[in-house]
Structure 1
Amino acid sequence: MFANLLAKQLFYVTSDQLHAYQWQHGTLSGPDVFPATRAGLDDFLAYLDSQGGRPAYLLTDLIEEDFTRLLLPHVGGRAGRKLRARRLVQQYRDTPYRTAHVQGRSEEGRRDDMVLFTALTNPLLLTPWVDAMELMQTPLAGIYSTALMGRDVLRLATARHRHILLVTRQAAGLRQTYFRAGAVKFSRLVHGTPVAGPVRALAEETRKTQQFLTSVRLLERGDVLHVVVLADPELAAGLSAGVENGAETIYRIVSVDTVLPAPRAGRLFGIADQPAAGPGGTGATGGAVASATDTLMLSLLARQAPASHYPTGAAGNYYRLWRVRLSLFASSVVLAAAGVAWSVANVASHVIARDHAEALQSETRHYRASYNASMSSMPPTVDKTANMRAAVSIDRMVARQGPWPMQMVGMVSATLERSPQIRLIQLDWRAAVPGAPTVSPGGAPGAAGLVAPTSSFALGIPTAPQQTLRLQAEVVSAPNDYRRVLGEMNAFAQRLAGMPRMSVEIVQLPFDIRPNVKLSGSVGTPTTNPDENKFTLDITWTP
């Protein structure tokens, strides 16, 4: 099936007949020859019907092919394409088979574009065959010229001179194509003049062409023209011995079978021994016989077809549809392969997941059996799980809400760091828990008291209890500096009171400043009171 998709039809058209070839598995088979008559067209229609929807490549070798060189203003983009299209229509009004090739820019003046306009000036030689392919919905990939195909032949022959005249023997006659710097400039077909004739005929035709090229200023006086003659293998030796080089003409005879390495040439240019006989076809016996050069160009066209040299018109729509169909087919194959790969991956993942699930289920059964065996040896308990959960919850609550002094002492420590003049003397911390005081049962002196049960508030259940801290400190200051001592104490008390949920009460001042207390002593007299500058604060913090 894939071989049928890659198979091609190759048609070689001359002024009086069409040669039909088939390309499959890298081999060119045929030809079937159809004359340019009503009967030949009918036979060609039957031939197309028998070949199905294989893509077709049409190679033309006609005398009525014109080449015109013009200089056009250098305009790029869409405007340039429109300019060349208008000029092309003016140049060739009577044929749809026309095209333009930009071949660089002129080196003089305003550096205009050098454009080669070429066309098949007699469309009646080609239109019947194209209409037949359109009628049979044959995918026409392109219409090609043997003159323009000469560029690929020179590339294979490794001819890289500036002025080259390629001479080939085609089924329609002798074709001479002139290349300047690798670009086609001119081509002519001499009908009925074989290269196999006298060497003098080859030299005469070359001389005429060289004179014409000089007259149209393609060749200058003193330019050397390299004539590359592509000959059939049986004629190459005779031509090499007969031609003579001149001062401005150098011949090079190239045999068709030496253009490519021998391992490829045999398959590339080999034609099947028995021509394929289509319905009404005449095989290779009717009309002109295809030469090895024709086979070379057809094989090159089948292997690496360039873009169409001439427009295919409506007949090319079936080729575009064929490419869309081929793209859809290739996309469906890719999607199908991806679907198969995805399905295989899913099946493999399912098998792996099932094996893992069975292993986990087996492990679960093992642990459950071990757990049941362990629990069977223990005495039955009531709500053991609920009790353990409750104990864990109580433990976490006590750790979080219990009356621990660390947090309150930490806040006092932070305040002391901000008050370097305050020196801590003593701390007395307690939690304000509503508990039971010591009770004397008989009130007898010396009788032992009973302690009431501890409240759950002492453990922080259900809320954290209030905490109090009695702080005794002194102010480090010079003697009798009462204003500074009082200020440092007040600043320290205010910093403590600024803590979140903290209240501060001054229990004892550094000195007694009550208005009803009698003053004593002398100002400036040193004192030996050890409690001077000491104060006491009661701090209450509600978590």
Structure 2
Amino acid sequence: MLSKHLFYLTSDQLCAYLWQGGRLTGGACFANDRAGIDDFMDYVDSHRASPVYILADLIEEDFQRVTVPHVRGRAGRTLLQRRLLQQYRETPFRHHEVQGRESTGRRDDQVLLSALTNPASVQPWVEALEQLQRPLAGLYTTTLLSEELVYKLKLRDQHLLLVTQQSAGWRQSYFQQGMLKFSRLTPALDRDGQPVNIGMETAKTQQFLTSQRLLGRGNVLQTVVVTPAAATATLDQQCEDGAETEFHFLTLESVAERTGLKTGDGRAGEMSRHLAEPMLLAFLARRTPESHYTLGPWQRYFKLWRARVNLYAISAIMATCCAVWTGTNLWQEHEANNDSTRLTAEAAQFDRRYRDTMAEMPPRVTTTANMRAAVNVERMLATQAATPLGMATVVSQALEASPQIRLLQLDWKVMAPAANAPAPGQDETQAQPISSLVAGIPQRAPQGLALEAEVLTAEDDYRGAVDRMNEFALALAKHPRMTVEIDKPPVDVRSSVKLAGKAGTQVVSNGHAKFTLNLVWKP
């Protein structure tokens, strides 16, 4: 966890604390003079360059409540900055906070303006940090941080006055529904050196709030006093409830328990005397909000420090990613090497088993390449050799669709040319070699089928016989690779044939008309 330097600034001095590991340590104080600032610079120079947070508790802190037109975006921010500059021209430490909108009229924004009206109480310390090039994260005030204390303590009263004892005196902060409206700091001792009467100071604050119309007459002001348990009895005598005032006391121990503040850090003695220092410093260290008051160029070293930290973080993330990626690659390489070793061992085992098997076999009649070629030829013959089964299947399907056709004879053959023509001087009576297309090498050969059938029809029904034959031929021709040619029809009606006969001669005898078809199938 990164450490943080926390500086508690009052009008008289500055106290330095260190926040590390969730605990607050230190407490060295430096007077607000030349010697004190020199000692402060020596102190800062002796510590590492951690982010610096200044928490101011000054009496010269002014609050003004104004209404501005409700404008959004850049124009609204510019309007607020101009209004803030008009209100506080003499100080660079200015702050604004939009707290809601009016319920009537134009519904203007309700804005709380605040500023440290005496910049001389802050500038020497800021310039010292600038000279030492320390990262100044922000400038905060106990008044604005008290909103966090009210939220932690769950104080939800509509009109609340929070009274806390701090090193600079008693801080009285007025809240409406949890939003800060006004704050004043009174000394802890009066002019005679006697402790101030908290009840009387509360009455003065209530009278001022009424005159400013922040608190209407008849409204009850709930006053919460945070004090050590030992001082509760004394303050109880000073604070008497009235018609418009009710007092409530909270001990430092209960507040520390409810806010989760660690007290085992060696600061219990100081905590029993002051509340704001350990309590609000712990809030500041844990939350680290944006700076309450503008710092301008005094914050440049913090921006550089934050950029450097971000670069370190990005570098660490990239290094982690690279380490993970490298580790993954190494693991994958290890797995690949194991797989390669395993596969090499399996291959050697298979080679050994192959050699043992081959050693037990009888002597080979030919080489392995020839045996492999023979197997390939056998597979090719089994898949591509010409067979009548394909054409017979087509004829069978056509016969199923034509019950009046009866098959008489089939003559199937492979339509393949001779492998080679007879050489000059060779005996032509010698048988010629058969083409390899018959075996389907390198591709299937065309096949022919001479089909002889007859038509079962009535005697002398020439037209019926011819129609049945044509229907049967068309059924065969539907096959995409089948060609059908009528070789001999039941009645030869071609123009090239002489028509002859005698009356009464039966061309279709006994209802049987024969015809012949030539089928060619090209795979």
| 1:212 maps to which of 208, 212, 231 | 208
Post-superposition shift, 1:209? Answer: 1.1
Match of 2:71 among 71, 75, 78: 75
Secondary structure of 1:260's aligned partner: helix
Alignment partner of 1:126 is 2:122: yes
Task: Report 1 or 2 for greater relative contact order, CA contacts < 8 Å, sequence distance ≥ 6.
Answer: 1
Residue matched to 1:374 = 357
**Cα offsets for 1:450-483 (capped at 9, x unmatched):** 9987654432234433311123445677776644
Q: Distance in 1 between matches of 2:352 and 2:204?
A: 109
Superposition deviation, residue 529 in structure 1 = 2.9
Question: Equivalent residue of 2:444, what SS?
Answer: coil
What SS does structure 2 have at the residue aligned with 1:267? coil
Number of aligned residues: 507
| Map of 2:112 onto structure 1 | 116
In the alignment, structure 1 residue 536 sits paired with structure 2 residue 516: yes
Matched letter for residue 186 of structure 1: F
Contact 1:199/1:243 (<8 A) preserved? no
1:123 to partner: Cα distance: 1.5
Preserved CA contact (<8 Å) 2:458 2:511: no
TM-score (norm 2): 0.86
Residues 14 and 519 from structure 1, CA distance in 2 versus in 1: closer, same or farther, beyond 3 angstroms? farther
Query: Match of 2:292?
Result: 309
The separation in 2 between residues aligned to 1:33 and 1:95, in whole angstroms, is 26
Following the alignment from structure 1 to structure 2, what is the Cα–Cα distance between the partners of residues 248 and 314?
48
Q: Which residue of 2 is the match for residue 471 of structure 1?
A: 451
State the Cα distance separating 1:89 from its structure 2 match: 1.6
Distance across 2 between alignment mates of 1:347 and 1:148? 56
Instruction: Tell me which residue corresponds to 2:54.
Output: 58
2:366 matches 1:386: no
The answer on 1:162 being equivalent to 2:158 is yes
Partners in 1 of 2:81 and 2:406 — Cα distance? 104
Matches within 5 A, 1:351-370: 351-370=334-353
Residues 31-42 of structure 1 aligned to structure 2 (within 5 Å) = 31-42=27-38
Structure 1 position 412, deviation (Å): 4.3
Deviating more after overlay: 401-410 vs 149-158: 401-410
Query: For residue 329 of structure 1, what is the aligned residue in structure 2?
Result: 312
Q: Distance in 2 between matches of 1:519 and 1:94?
A: 143
Deviation at 1:539, TM superposition (A): 0.8
C-alpha distance in 2 between matches for 1:9 and 1:59: 11
SS in 2 for 1:322: helix
2:425 is matched with which residue? none
Secondary structure of the residue that 1:70 maps to in structure 2? strand
TM-superposed CA distance for 1:54, in Å, is 0.8
Alignment of 1:27 with 2:23, yes or no, is: yes
1:70 is displaced (CA, Å) by 1.3
Give the 3 Å change call, closer, same or farther, for CA 137–420 of structure 1 in structure 2: farther
Is the partner of 2:512 in helix, strand or coil?
A: coil
Structure 1 position 120, deviation (Å): 1.2
Shift in CA distance, 542/248, structure 1 to aligned 2, threshold 3 Å: same
The residue identity in structure 1 corresponding to 2:414 is A
Deviation of 1:499 after TM superposition, in Å, equals 4.5
Residue 423 (structure 1) aligned with residue 400 (structure 2): no
Query: Structure 1: 5+ residue runs without aligned partners?
Result: 276-283, 437-449
Q: How far did 1:180 drift?
A: 0.4
Between the aligned partners of 2:456 and 2:290, the Cα distance in structure 1 is: 103
Contact 1:421 1:488 in 2 (8 A): no
- Candidates 480, 490, 511, aligned match of 2:491: 511
- Superposed CA deviations along residues 158-192 of structure 1, whole A, max 9, x for unmatched, are 21111101111222222111100111111111234
Residue equivalent to 2:423: none
Q: CA offsets per residue over residues 132-158 of structure 1, 9 Å max, x none?
A: 111111111111111111111112322
Say what the alpha-carbon RMSD is for the aligned residues.
Answer: 3.4
1:296 alignment partner in structure 2:
279
Q: Secondary structure at the match of 1:81?
A: helix
How far did residue 527 of structure 1 move? 7.4
What corresponds to 1:440 in structure 2? none
Cα distance change on mapping 1:408 and 1:229 into 2, 3 Å:
same
Between the aligned partners of 1:42 and 1:377, the Cα distance in structure 2 is 102
Match of 2:388 among 405, 408, 412: 405
Change (3 A) 1:355 1:219: same
1:201 aligns with 197
Specify whether residues 414 and 34 from structure 1 end up closer, same or farther in structure 2 by C-alpha distance, changes over 3 A only: farther
Distance of 1:526 and 1:426 partners within structure 2: 18
Partner of 2:473: 493
SS, match of residue 361 in structure 1: helix
Q: Distance in 2 between matches of 1:432 and 1:55?
A: 99
Inter-CA distance 537–220: structure 2 relative to 1 (3 Å threshold)? same
Distance 2:215 2:461 in 1: 121
Residue type of the alignment partner of 1:44:
F
What CA distance in whole angstroms lies between the structure 2 residues aligned with 1:476 and 1:217?
A: 124
Q: Distance in 2 between matches of 1:270 and 1:223?
A: 43
Q: Indicate conservation of the 8 Å contact 1:133/1:140, yes or no.
A: yes
Percent identity between matched residues is 44
Residues in 2 aligned to 1:96 and 1:477: alpha-carbon distance in whole angstroms: 123
| Contact kept in structure 2, 1:508 and 1:535, CA below 8 Å | yes
> Which deviations, in whole Å up to 9, do the C-alpha atoms of 1:237-288 show, x marking residues without a partner?
4323542111211111112221132895453775288x9xxxxxxxx9xxxx
CA distance in 1, matches of 2:243, 2:456: 123
The answer to whether the Cα contact below 8 Å between 2:45 and 2:132 also exists between their aligned partners in 1 is yes
- Equivalent in the alignment of 1:460: 440
State the 1:366 CA deviation. Answer: 3.0
